[in-house]
Structure 1
Amino acid sequence: MRTRTVVGLSTLAMLIAACGAGAADSDDTTTSPPDETTTTSPEPSQPDDSADGLSALDDMRNPAFPEPLVDPDEIISGGPPPDGIPPIEAPQFISVEEADEWLGTEEPVVYVEVNDEVKAYPVQILIWHEIVNDTVGDVPVAVTYCPLCNSAVTYVREVDGEVTSFGTSGRLFASALVMYDRATESLWTHFDGRAVVGVRTGEQLEFIPSPLIGWADFKEAFPDALVLDRDQTGHSRPYGENPYVGYDNPDTNPFLFRGTVDDRAAAKQRVVGVNLDGTARAWTLEAISDGDASATNTDVAGAPIVIFWRAGQATALESELVVSGRDVGSVAVFLPTVDGQDLTFEAREGVFVDDQTQSEWDITGKAVSGELAGTTLEQIHHLDTFWFAWSTYQPETDLIEG
């Protein structure tokens, strides 16, 4: 496999604007009284006795830690201190109707659906905070977003059965967010949910699917969902603005990336990545997108999957305003099986139709008409991300190009 070395170059302005904004926090701590669109998260656990006060934030090379899974020298400062990019700790939510007043049609949102509860997290907020510690369907979750590797990943925020919360460490590994848990201050990689340095080294967080989707498609599919409120984050930020103007450009290098890039694709080529049973496969955006919608029937590790792509989502990382980025579309990946029957799909006039029953499906995997109306396909965890990040964390990956 041929590789090339990339030295990340960026402007100081990007670093200051996106990473060093912690000093601009609002002093306004007023919160609204709880109502039907306000939820609170359970109290995170405090540092436990097993940590003995050890912190990977303070000393990544402490000999009392298990052997690190990555070289600590490769975990580098991104500029801000721990929580200098402040996570949202007590998220407040509003209705879809209220959020529609300030979200554009193609704006990207991350959505999480657990136990019949659905919440949306607009990227115009996540881009400034990177982590939201929340609860969805009575499950404690950490919704994470890394602008530098263009990926959204959600985890169950429990370690050894204990609820914890996660913060931003101010550090990067392979140009990707490195988190820390508040119970032991171990360091975890956003991209794959592993503890790589500290007391918890080797432990793995549980994934929860959290696709990126355009706002218009989301509100049509989930009109009764809750949406993270940008007016009650506890911080003052220019929500809606993109501090990474021009970053989503395949002809430029990733920021603070010191590794090597598999040169089967450009470092910032957009890809969709799936790992099933240890088999990793990625598709370039061009391989799965066509017209206003497309369906890709394929497999990973011998298991059938279907990839839906539909136009109508802006990239958050191109223009000065999140809503103004070019249309890169929304991607969803599913197990195409209903009641033991394998389905195959095609796209027709912006919707997805299965060949077996001619039922019509939306981008969220719900059958909206036909014999299977009301049925929902099982989501498969996937990543919409840049090639340099996927190929670093999944070096044995296959790549399917368009």
Structure 2
Amino acid sequence: MKFAGPLRAALCVALALMPVHAPAQNPFHGKAWPKTDFTAFLVDPLEFEPGGPNKDGIPAIDFPRMHPAAEEHSLDPREPVISVKIEGQLTRGYPLRYLLWHEVVNDTVGHTDIAVTYSVLVDSAVVYDRRDAEGNAMVFGVSGLLRFSNSVLFDRGTESWWQQTTGRAIVGSHAGERLTPLPARVESWDVFRLHHPDGLVMMRPEWERAYGTTPFVGYDSAPVPARYAGPLPPKGIAPLERVLRVGSHAWQLSRLMSEGRITEAGLVLTWTPGMASTHDAADIARARDIGMVRVRDAVGRDLPHDVIFAFCFAAFWPDGRWMLGGCGAAGLPC
């Protein structure tokens, strides 16, 4: 546990770097959440905890400035970018160097309203259609609350609370609704600009942040996750090992890295090197290589997926299937 001291210090620095405008709010105080319907809870209220910054202390980005990939010169070739392709529109890239400090980007691509989301403590990057069940576009902010280390978002219309990694509303008038995840993938800037030379990339937000660096130095090598008291992964899987989640199935990234290609459960999973971690070195461009994945169905269509820390899958998909390989006599899922 000798790593615990430096890790705790790094997390304190991370929280100090994020803006806090007031003392920690009571998560259920009416002055903080005047629109939230607190009669509609789908989870145990004791599972919520303050993440440090208060409501909107981590500022979401609404309708970001974009420019052609050919005009972008500040990104390192290995930096991770969330790549989003909406039919009939130019592919858009959202660098994690920005999402790491803002967690949500509300954007409109053609006629599609999207929310590009990233929860730093679980390394979850998911893009959602941000319309509600009635087809109305919502605009999301960051609540400042965590549940099992995962960010809790809120919509500005009803201030319902939404779990970032699942897209499910868990408190408020939208409770029970789910956002629709869209096919997207995290890939290196080098790969993005190679495959989408006519694509658009998000420009630097007009905030004073240490973009290109991470305060979570060494976090993905830590023995235990921060601010987490939920279930742990089975079969000796390290809590902070990355897993590829597709629906309620999870594959260890280490397995996919070793095999390069896995065909299971009607899916084709591939891994290629060349993308940096956002939880390793202070300068993301110098971080270790964790590579990038692609998930397609049997006919080659890209599918929604997420690469997250194993403890996150254990917490939010307790009945999920761990695709560990070695089928048959070992009784493991295939």
TM-score bucket of the superposed structures, by smaller chain: 0.7 to 0.9
Q: Evaluate the alpha carbon distance shift between residue 254 and residue 82 of structure 1 in structure 2; reply closer, same or farther with a 3 A threshold.
A: same
Over residues 347-375 of structure 1, what are the superposed CA-to-partner deviations in whole Å (9 max), with x where a residue is unaligned? xxxxxxxxxxxxxxxxxxxxxxxxxxxxx
Q: What 5-or-longer segments of structure 2 have no aligned partner?
A: 22-29, 326-334
Over residues 147-182 of structure 1, what are the superposed CA-to-partner deviations in whole Å (9 max), with x where a residue is unaligned? 100110111111121111000000001100100000
2:297 equivalent to 1:335: yes
Partner in structure 2 of residue 148 of structure 1: 121
2:45 equivalent to 1:77: no
Give the letter aligned to residue 106 of structure 1: R
Partner in structure 1 of residue 269 of structure 2: 307
Q: Evaluate the alpha carbon distance shift between residue 20 and residue 171 of structure 1 in structure 2; reply closer, same or farther with a 3 A threshold.
A: farther
Provide the C-alpha distance between the structure 2 equivalents of 1:330 and 1:13, rounded to a whole number of angstroms. Answer: 26
Offset at residue 13 of structure 1 (A): 5.0
Partner in structure 2 of residue 394 of structure 1: 317
Partner in structure 1 of residue 331 of structure 2: none
8 Å Cα contact 1:253-1:267 kept in structure 2: yes
Give the letter aligned to residue 14 of structure 2: A
Offset at residue 323 of structure 1 (A): 1.4
Partner in structure 2 of residue 174 of structure 1: 148
Offset at residue 144 of structure 1 (A): 0.3
Offset at residue 218 of structure 1 (A): 1.1
Q: Evaluate the alpha carbon distance shift between residue 312 and residue 14 of structure 1 in structure 2; reply closer, same or farther with a 3 A threshold.
A: same
Give the letter aligned to residue 328 of structure 1: I
Offset at residue 135 of structure 1 (A): 1.0
Q: Which has the higher strand share?
A: 1
8 Å Cα contact 1:56-1:197 kept in structure 2: no
2:325 equivalent to 1:378: no
Q: What 5-or-longer segments of structure 1 have no aligned partner?
A: 1-6, 25-53, 338-376
Partner in structure 2 of residue 281 of structure 1: 249
Instruction: Name the % identity.
Output: 34
Provide the C-alpha distance between the structure 1 equivalents of 2:13 and 2:227, rounded to a whole number of angstroms. Answer: 14
Residues paired across the two proteins, number: 311
8 Å Cα contact 1:55-1:198 kept in structure 2: no
Larger radius of gyration: 1
Over residues 86-109 of structure 1, what are the superposed CA-to-partner deviations in whole Å (9 max), with x where a residue is unaligned? 01113001111222x111111111
Partner in structure 1 of residue 214 of structure 2: 242
Provide the C-alpha distance between the structure 2 equivalents of 1:18 and 1:296, rounded to a whole number of angstroms. Answer: 38
8 Å Cα contact 1:310-1:331 kept in structure 2: yes
8 Å Cα contact 1:333-1:380 kept in structure 2: yes
SS of structure 2 residue aligned to 1:290: helix
Q: Evaluate the alpha carbon distance shift between residue 330 and residue 95 of structure 1 in structure 2; reply closer, same or farther with a 3 A threshold.
A: same
TM-score by length of structure 1 reads: 0.73
8 Å Cα contact 1:113-1:136 kept in structure 2: no
Provide the C-alpha distance between the structure 2 equivalents of 1:325 and 1:18, rounded to a whole number of angstroms. Answer: 21
Q: Evaluate the alpha carbon distance shift between residue 290 and residue 258 of structure 1 in structure 2; reply closer, same or farther with a 3 A threshold.
A: closer
Offset at residue 115 of structure 1 (A): 1.7
8 Å Cα contact 2:48-2:146 kept in structure 1: yes
8 Å Cα contact 1:311-1:329 kept in structure 2: yes
Aligned CA-pair RMSD: 2.3
Partner in structure 2 of residue 114 of structure 1: 86
Provide the C-alpha distance between the structure 1 equivalents of 2:56 and 2:183, rounded to a whole number of angstroms. Answer: 25
